[in-house]
Amino acid sequence: MVLAQIEMIIPALAFVSVMLIGSAVIVSRSAKRKLIKERIADKMAVTPLTEQPPAERSGVLLFFEKLGNFASHSNPSRNLLEQLVRAGYYHQSAVAVYTGIKLLLFAIGLSAGALLIIPLSIHISAKITLVFLVAAILFFLPNIIVMARLKKRHNEIRLHLPIMIDLLEICVSSGIGLDMAWNVVADEIRHVSTVLSNSMALTSFEMHLGASRVEAMRSMSKRTGVDELSSLSAILIQTEKFGTSVADTLRVFAQSMREERSHTAQENAEKMSVKLLIPMILFIFPAVVIVAAGPAVISIGKALTYGQ
């Protein structure tokens, strides 16, 4: 009886998990499209910013925002805000929506877990543990999605940053100013990396609004959370402060990044042999032993049986 109930619960849990993951992916993509449309509308608009009507949001997002504000008392966490910004969620209500989604998923986990697990004929403590386990898994699902998106953005920026620095060095060496070269590279690299291009464009927009280059570069390194961008901003700040050649500085920095990437690749290659020991011992070595010694063991067993 218990096995039959478990066989019925497992497909239901799998279906709920797939639906929730799919819904999270759809919401993430729709939010990204909405952000791009808002940026295009901001660029195409000719009226002042104060005269533009506020962007309309769907009722679902408003519900999540109200729920998150109620849970956090309209006082979002600073660390969570920085994490969401680094993951690409720049809207001011991102923290509230994120908190609301987590609370709703926790409530769904409690309800679904209670409906599916309570009818099982197991101990009450095991039922309570399983219910809260299902709720905890759904509660931390947005954390996993945000961390995966954050890691993806970091990897994309690190992958295309040397190309950006090379283009910036070429533009500066040809006589273009650093600010103009920054805008040119941001437009050219958009076809390769949208994340890095948007970060550069936002930095340029901050400088056009009156922020100094130092403040804009520091804001960019803090907004992305990539160590290489922090080093680049520090180098450009020191170059502007001491009046050294920007092209030479960028050339040296790009070369150092390539050397560091090469050393990292060599280090990962050397670690790979150690990491392969565990799957080899658990999966490959037993199979080899069975294939090599199996026939001999069978023959010895038959010989002993016949001898008796």
Query: pLDDT tens digit string along 219-271?
Result: 888 888 888 888 888 888 788 778 778 888 888 888 888 888 888 888 888 88
d(CA 267, CA 271): 6
Residues 83-119 pLDDT 10s: 888 888 877 788 888 888 888 888 888 888 888 888 8
The single-letter DSSP state of residue 73 is T
In Å, how far from its chain's centre is CA 22?
16
Cβ contacts of residue 179 below 8 Å, gap of 6+? 204, 207, 213
Among the listed residues 130, 101, 137, 105, the one whose alpha carbon sits nearest the alpha carbon of residue 116 = 130
d(CA 151, CA 235): 25
Read off the pTM: 0.63
pLDDT band at 48 (very low <50, low <70, confident <90, very high): very low
Among the listed residues 62, 137, 131, the one whose alpha carbon sits nearest the alpha carbon of residue 102 = 137
- pLDDT given for residue 74 in this prediction: 64
Among the listed residues 247, 237, 241, 239, the one whose alpha carbon sits nearest the alpha carbon of residue 215 = 237
- pLDDT given for residue 57 in this prediction: 54
d(CA 236, CA 165): 11
d(CA 179, CA 263): 32
pLDDT more than 90, % of the chain: 1
d(CA 185, CA 201): 9
In Å, how far from its chain's centre is CA 204?
24
Residues 30-44 pLDDT 10s: 666 666 666 555 544
- pLDDT given for residue 255 in this prediction: 84
Contact indicator for 236, 213 with CB cutoff of 8 Å: yes
d(CA 94, CA 96): 6
Residues 260-301 pLDDT 10s: 888 888 888 888 888 888 888 888 888 888 888 888 888 888
Contact indicator for 70, 103 with CB cutoff of 8 Å: no
Per DSSP, the three-state class of 149 is: helix
Q: What is the mean pLDDT of residues 181-207?
A: 87
Question: Has residue 51 got a pLDDT over 70?
Answer: no
Question: Has residue 50 got a pLDDT over 60?
Answer: no
Question: Has residue 45 got a pLDDT over 50?
Answer: no
pLDDT band at 8 (very low <50, low <70, confident <90, very high): low
Per DSSP, the three-state class of 118 is: coil
With 0-12 / 13-18 / 19 or more C-beta atoms within 10 angstroms meaning exposed / middle / buried, residue 78 is exposed
Query: Which residue type sits at 90?
Result: Y
Q: Give ∠ CA 283-289-293 in degrees, rounded to 5.
A: 155
Q: How far is CA 44 from CA 40, 119, 128, 258, 302, in A?
A: 6, 58, 55, 39, 84
With 0-12 / 13-18 / 19 or more C-beta atoms within 10 angstroms meaning exposed / middle / buried, residue 281 is exposed
d(CA 230, CA 186): 18
> What number of CA atoms fall less than 13 Å from residue 182's CA on the CB side?
22
Q: What is the mean pLDDT of residues 52-79?
A: 65
With 0-12 / 13-18 / 19 or more C-beta atoms within 10 angstroms meaning exposed / middle / buried, residue 216 is buried
Residues 134-144 pLDDT 10s: 888 988 998 99
